[in-house]
């Protein structure tokens, strides 16, 4: 930790007079913590799930006094400010991505205190995570798990959307998120992992023979996909037509027979086969193109939610909707660093240093996908310092010209 002075004082060698210069711009004005310390706190909490009060105890053991309220203020300030880069990532994803894989999970939000001083229960908010091909991962906090929230997230996108069968996505596929009436609506891609999960529950809990057979049939599809994982999309598409399509045709013909047998009874078996039959069109969609996955579990989309699912057990809640929105930006950058094999703590420390000097129309260059190329064009001696002026390099296209 360091204390930042407002101005630097030096002696002019020519005149002998004492002169002052303004300090370099920083992301947190008059802040006490260096970018490297801020990055360490953010990654400790949002990547590894260490709560602020535990970090306070850890630093106290080292003789450093750093209270958890300060950490929370820094996290919200930095997260909200870095949202400009996350917004640029999301904008590019909606304009260029072939397929957006998404999932969601709930979190608790601390309520506003009542005027009479009585306590009230936490309200529930939701984090959506979106994987744009293998380019970006961005999180979006929404106070409500509704169709309106989903439409706002994906507004203007016309490609493929892979999600579970939750009803809130139906409005998206109906075209309610279109910005132009002539644009096509996003195309639904089903997730076989969600279908398999329901079949597994029926097979293990009810011990149903048909559910066990369904598991074996689905497992055969996953084995083929694993064998073709390293193939080019065109080759994978061709193999799917030769092998997977026949298996899927047979599976759905058989699943409809099983559903007709159990649909009048309530229970896990009826739920499992009903899910598969009702979602047939979406579950077949991956056969249309070799770039489409069978499930969003293959990617970082669902796995990125583990940052939240593991961390919320120790955080318990977020302090407000604004705090959750700022945390979503930090989750986005940390998960994208993992996607591109970048050390998140080093990345955040450098971005916090660089951002105050960076042009507003070039925030996308700071995204983890492009950071290696951007970093190579920044002067190493400037980037090595925690504080100091950053000379912004020209755009890569301008430099080539």
**Is residue 335 classed exposed, middle or buried when 0-12, 13-18 and 19+ CB atoms within 10 A define those classes?**
buried
Contact between 130 and 140 under an 8 Å Cβ cutoff? The reply is: yes
What does residue 105 show for φ and ψ, rounded to 5 degrees? Answer: -150, 155
Question: Own/partner pairs for 62-65, CB < 8 Å, 24+ apart?
Answer: 64/1
Residue that the structure tokens 């009585």 belong to: 118
**Is residue 59 classed exposed, middle or buried when 0-12, 13-18 and 19+ CB atoms within 10 A define those classes?**
middle
CA separation (Å) from 395 to 84, 306, 363?
A: 18, 36, 11
Parallel/antiparallel/unpaired status of strands 99-109 and 123-132: antiparallel
Confidence at residue 148, expressed as pLDDT on a 0 to 100 scale: 93
- Domain ranges across the chain: 33-190+298-401, 192-294
DSSP secondary-structure letter at 191?
-
Q: Could you count the other beta carbons within 10 Å of the beta carbon of residue 168?
A: 18
Q: Which of 71, 80, 65 is nearest to 51 (CA)?
A: 71
Confidence at residue 21, expressed as pLDDT on a 0 to 100 scale: 61
CA end-to-end distance (rounded Å), the chain: 43
Q: At a CB cut-off of 8 Å and minimum separation 6, what does 186 contact? A: 100, 154, 157, 158, 159, 160, 161, 172, 173, 177
Confidence at residue 295, expressed as pLDDT on a 0 to 100 scale: 87
CA–CA separation, 217 and 250 (whole Å)? 9
- Residue 178 CA from chain centroid, whole number: 23
Confidence at residue 96, expressed as pLDDT on a 0 to 100 scale: 93
What does residue 338 show for φ and ψ, rounded to 5 degrees? Answer: -65, -40
According to DSSP, the residues that pair with 10 across neighbouring strands are 19
| This prediction's pTM | 0.86
DSSP secondary-structure letter at 318?
B
Q: At a CB cut-off of 8 Å and minimum separation 6, what does 182 contact? A: none
Confidence at residue 264, expressed as pLDDT on a 0 to 100 scale: 85
Confidence at residue 170, expressed as pLDDT on a 0 to 100 scale: 93
DSSP secondary-structure letter at 125?
E
| 293-327 tens-digit pLDDT | 998 775 555 566 666 776 677 777 888 899 999 99
CA angle 336, 342, 345 (to 5 degrees): 90
Parallel/antiparallel/unpaired status of strands 18-22 and 7-11: antiparallel
CA–CA separation, 126 and 309 (whole Å)? 11
CA separation (Å) from 320 to 109, 258, 334?
A: 6, 47, 21
Contact between 65 and 3 under an 8 Å Cβ cutoff? The reply is: no
205 in helix, strand or coil? helix
What's the longest Cα–Cα distance across the chain?
A: 97
Confidence at residue 10, expressed as pLDDT on a 0 to 100 scale: 56
> Angle between the 321-339 and 306-315 helix axes, to the nearest 10 degrees?
140
pLDDT per residue rounded down to tens, the chain (401 residues): 343 444 455 556 677 776 666 667 888 877 788 899 999 999 998 888 888 888 999 988 988 888 888 888 899 999 999 999 999 999 999 999 999 999 888 888 888 777 777 778 888 999 998 999 889 998 999 999 999 999 999 999 999 999 988 999 999 999 999 988 899 999 999 999 999 999 999 999 999 999 999 999 999 999 999 999 999 999 999 999 999 999 999 999 999 999 999 988 889 999 999 999 999 999 999 999 999 999 877 555 556 666 677 667 777 788 889 999 999 999 999 999 999 999 999 999 999 999 999 999 999 999 999 999 999 999 999 998 888 889 999 987 655 44
Q: Could you count the other beta carbons within 10 Å of the beta carbon of residue 178?
A: 19
Q: Which of 97, 296, 111 is nearest to 195 (CA)?
A: 296
Contact between 276 and 199 under an 8 Å Cβ cutoff? The reply is: yes
């Amino acid at each position: 930790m360091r204390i930042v002075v407002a101005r630097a004082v030096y002696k002019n060698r020519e005149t002998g007079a004492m002169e002052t210069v303004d300090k370099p711009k920083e992301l947190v004005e008059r802040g006490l913590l260096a970018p490297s310390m801020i990055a360490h706190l953010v990654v400790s909490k949002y990547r590894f799930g260490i709560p602020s009060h535990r970090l306070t105890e850890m630093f106290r053991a080292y003789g450093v006094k750093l209270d958890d309220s300060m950490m929370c203020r820094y996290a919200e300030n930095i997260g909200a400010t870095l949202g400009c880069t996350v917004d640029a990532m999301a904008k590019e994803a909606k304009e260029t991505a072939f397929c957006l894989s998404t999932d969601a999970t709930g979190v608790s939000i601390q309520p506003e205190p009542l005027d009479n001083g009585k306590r009230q229960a936490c309200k529930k908010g939701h984090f959506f995570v979106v994987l744009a091909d293998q380019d970006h991962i961005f999180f979006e906090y929404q106070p409500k798990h509704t169709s309106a929230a989903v439409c706002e997230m994906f507004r203007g996108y016309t490609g493929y959307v892979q999600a579970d069968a939750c009803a809130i996505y139906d409005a998206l596929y109906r075209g309610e998120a279109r910005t132009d009436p002539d644009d096509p609506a996003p195309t639904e891609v089903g997730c076989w992992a969600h279908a398999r999960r329901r079949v597994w529950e029926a097979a293990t809990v009810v011990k149903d023979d048909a559910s066990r057979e369904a598991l074996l049939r689905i497992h055969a599809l996953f084995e083929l996909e694993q064998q073709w994982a390293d193939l080019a999309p065109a080759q994978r598409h061709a193999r799917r037509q030769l092998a997977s399509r026949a298996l899927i045709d047979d599976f759905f013909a058989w699943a409809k027979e099983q559903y007709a047998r159990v649909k009048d009874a309530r229970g896990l078996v009826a739920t499992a086969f009903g899910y598969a039959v009702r979602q047939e069109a979406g579950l077949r969609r991956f056969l249309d193109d070799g770039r489409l996955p069978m499930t969003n579990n293959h990617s970082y989309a669902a796995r990125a939610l583990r940052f939240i699912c593991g961390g919320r057990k120790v955080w318990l809640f977020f302090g407000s909707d604004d705090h959750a929105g700022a945390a979503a930006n930090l989750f986005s950058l940390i998960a994208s660093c993992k996607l591109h094999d970048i050390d998140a703590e080093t990345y955040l420390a450098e971005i916090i240093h660089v951002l105050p000097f960076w042009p507003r129309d070039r925030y996308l260059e700071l995204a983890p996908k492009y950071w290696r190329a951007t970093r190579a064009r920044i002067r190493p001696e400037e980037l090595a310092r925690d504080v100091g002026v950053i000379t912004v390099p020209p755009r890569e296209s301008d430099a080539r010209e």
